[in-house]
Chain A
Amino acid sequence: MAMKPSGWLIVFALLTLNSCFEQGDCQDQTSNRITFEFISSSTNKPSEIAIDSVTVSGVDKTFYKGEKASRIILPLTPGSSNTELKIYRPLGNISLNISYLERSTLLDPACGARVLFTLKEVSFTGSASKVQIIKSLISSVQETHVKIYL
């Protein structure tokens, strides 16, 4: 059971060496873009819909004007705990209120800071049947974060 002091020192030195090679990196795993996917309630499959326009609170821009899409990617507003989206479409408008946790992370002095968004709740009004959070941590626009059932 007993170990000589030199044995402990070797274990200590090896563990310490491991730490010496650990460095912070600039890999940014964060995004403020949230991806919504429209799902047909009857088929339970992605469904392309006609969109007149989409507006986002805090962003002075109109998105997806006169387009057709089964997925839309929209920005969340930093410095706030929620963002309101309005999807205008010929078959009925949808309003979404997205609540999220916003956390600033300093990656490294040379890399700067980023914001990590984590979805808490999405509520809706209008012509949707259900809204479901699929992935709460917003890290990539390639992933679907919220499904909107029509």
Chain B
Amino acid sequence: MSKYIYSLIVFLLMLSGTASSQDSLRSFKPTGIRVGAETIGLIKSLAGSKAGGKELFADMDLGRYFLAVEVGESFRNLTIKDGTYSNEGRYLRLGADVNFLKKDPDRNMFFLGFRYGRAVYREQLDYVYNTGFGTVNMDIDQQQVKSGWLELTTGLRVRVVKFFWMGYTARLKFGSSVPDESPIAPYEIPGYGLTFKKPWWGFSYYMMFRIPLRKDKALSPAEK
């Protein structure tokens, strides 16, 4: 995990260099908070899929930097060759994004950023194990499993009408950690995905509302 954190720090330093080389940060006062919901997992859940979830999103601008938080829950039910597997849990991602469209008058956003994710989840595995001398029914329920991971993110946020925004986040996920001696080797981490996919990628599509915290100052000719 430490090598990933080191790489992330290097990545952020490079991002910081890119961000500050051309523009000075005139103000770190937030102008608004965007809150929204992830739609892909929601549609899967509503469609009665065997996997799905809900995720809420919020971010707040500090100049061209945005603090982001994503909170969600997910579930998956699988029929496997010799039994069933189910997973349900909650997750939290915290991080920051750097906006590269600073001069856009509508505050549309193309960003690069990072997240640190944590999940708490439950896994159930019920299957028939053939020992070679008969079969044994293995019925295992492990609860309060904890995992963490890191993400590099990129995406867009576009103002559709006055307060309504849409956008997506593409994620490169890596550095996942799972318990070493749990009765089930974790198969899936909510918010991350399959544990054996390293690195792994993800895609979230959001619908958001922006709540202004103070009146937007018009961009000066110099800023344009």
A3–B172 Cα gap in the complex (Å)? 18
Contact A18 B129 (CB under 8 A): no
B28 within 8 A of A: no
Known: A5-B100, A109-B80. A78 touches B129 (CB 8 A): yes
**Stretch from B31-39, B52-60, B66-74, B182-190 that touches the partner:** B182-190
Sorting the interface of chain A by its residue count into under 10, 10 to 19, 20 to 34 or 35 or more gives: 35 or more
- Chain A 1-21 per-residue mask, 1 if CB under 8 angstroms from chain B, else 0: 111110011001001101110
Interface centre among A19, A60, A101, A106 (most CB of B within 10 A): A106
- Chain A 102-145 per-residue mask, 1 if CB under 8 angstroms from chain B, else 0: 11111001111111100000000000000000000000000000
Q: Which of B18, B79, B100, B136 contacts A109 (CB 8 A)?
A: B79
Interface centre among B17, B154, B201 (most CB of A within 10 A): B201
- Chain B 138-160 per-residue mask, 1 if CB under 8 angstroms from chain A, else 0: 10100000000000101000000
Contact A12 B200 (CB under 8 A): no
A106–B187 Cα gap in the complex (Å)? 6
Q: Which residues on B sit within 8 Å (CB–CB) of A12? A: 152, 154, 170, 172
Contact A33 B132 (CB under 8 A): yes
Q: Which residues on B sit within 8 Å (CB–CB) of A110? A: 80-81
B133 within 8 A of A: yes
A124–B86 Cα gap in the complex (Å)? 40
Contact B83 A8 (CB under 8 A): no
Q: Which of B83, B134, B152, B200 contacts A113 (CB 8 A)?
A: B83
**Stretch from B88-96, B191-199, B206-214, B216-224 that touches the partner:** B191-199
A59–B170 Cα gap in the complex (Å)? 52
Contact B196 A24 (CB under 8 A): yes
A32 within 8 A of B: yes
Known: A103-B183, A104-B183. A109 touches B78 (CB 8 A): yes
Q: Which residues on A sit within 8 Å (CB–CB) of B132? A: 32-33, 75
* B88 CB to nearest chain A CB (Å): 15
Q: Which residues on A sit within 8 Å (CB–CB) of B110? A: 5
Contact A103 B181 (CB under 8 A): yes
Which residue numbers of A lie inside 8 Å of B, CB to CB? 1-5, 8-9, 12, 15-16, 18-20, 22, 24, 32-33, 59-61, 75, 77-79, 101-106, 109-116
Which residue numbers of B lie inside 8 Å of A, CB to CB? 14, 17-18, 21, 78-83, 85, 100, 110, 112, 125, 127, 129, 131-134, 136, 138, 140, 152, 154, 170, 172, 181-185, 187, 194, 196-201
Lowest 6 CB-CB distances: which A-B pairs, in order? A112-B81, A112-B82, A105-B185, A106-B187, A2-B18, A113-B127
Q: List 5 A-B contacts (CB under 8 A).
A: A16-B201, A19-B172, A60-B134, A103-B184, A112-B81
